[in-house]
Amino acid sequence: MSENETQIGWSRDDLAARAAQDVPDGSYVNLGIGIPMMIPARIPEGREVWFHTENGILGLGGVPEPDEVDLDVTNAGKEYAKVVVGASTFDSSLSFAIVRGGHLDIAVLGGMEATPSGDLANWTAPGRTPGVGGAMDLVSGAKQVWVVMDHSDRRGRSKLMRRCTLPLTGARCVTRVYTALGVFRPAGSHFECLELAPGVDAETVRELTDAEVTFVDVPAAESAS
């Protein structure tokens, strides 16, 4: 996270909570590693959502307390996880049949770069060991792809790019982006800002974003948590 993001906008906890507000009741949702895995614990009370993780769980819960840890239950990021009542576990072939069969309403993924045309890069970067995982299947199989990520990388460079400089995970697949600064929608030649995080204004977003961003009657969020 860049220095700017430690001072303004949503924290990672707030960002997960903001994305959780938009997950529809009754939906089937895959979660990528990182911030997306924080979403189950922040779903509004009374809303039923079935979370899928590609290592073979449908009915993923939040992060377990120390006395709740089951050494045999982990998520796709190899972190200890909980399951909800009614959950099921299965092998990779069935897990990816769910993904490839179009049974997921949303895939919520982390990202390194996203563009106004909906391109996403999130599987490798220079100096990192490539890890394709299931990301390419997810961006092809899910009905919607949401990206939840920091607005800038550790060097302060924008992650909302005019075009991706890293190897693509998928082209024209992203439907929504949540960052520390706001909520954005790819609109072809630019991003449309749907909402600004608390304390963030349009000029700040323009200054910290590589891609063009438009603002039309954009509300400012009060709080995501």
Nearest to 123 by CA among 147, 141, 104: 147
What residue ranges define each of the domains in the chain, with the CATH number in brackets?
4-215 (3.40.1080.10)
pLDDT tens digits, 154-202: 899 999 999 999 999 999 999 999 999 999 999 999 999 999 999 999 9
Indicate whether 4 pLDDT > 90: no
Check if the beta carbon of residue 196 is closer than 8 Å to that of residue 202: yes
- Catalytic, 54? Answer yes
More confident call, 98 vs 219: 98
Token pair listed for 213: 């961003």
Has residue 100 got a pLDDT over 70? yes
* pLDDT at position 103: 98
N-terminal to C-terminal alpha carbon distance within the chain: 20
pLDDT, tens only, 109-139: 999 999 999 999 999 887 776 667 789 999 9
How would residue 1 be classed by pLDDT, with cut points 50, 70 and 90?
very low
| Residue 3 confidence (pLDDT) above 50 | no
Tens of pLDDT, residue by residue over 54-94, are 999 999 998 899 999 999 999 988 899 999 999 999 999 99
pLDDT of 2 higher than 80: no
Q: CA-CA distance, 216 to 75, in Å (whole number)?
A: 39
Q: Residue 36 class from Cβ within 10 Å (0-12 exposed, 13-18 middle, 19+ buried)?
A: buried
Distance in angstroms (rounded) separating the CA atoms of residues 115 and 128 = 22
pLDDT of 5 > 70? The answer is no
> By the 8 A CB rule, do 174 and 186 touch?
yes
Among residues 48, 54, 192, 212, the one annotated as catalytic is 54
DSSP codes, 98-140: HHHTT--SEEEE--SEE-TT--EE-S--TTS----TTHHHHHH
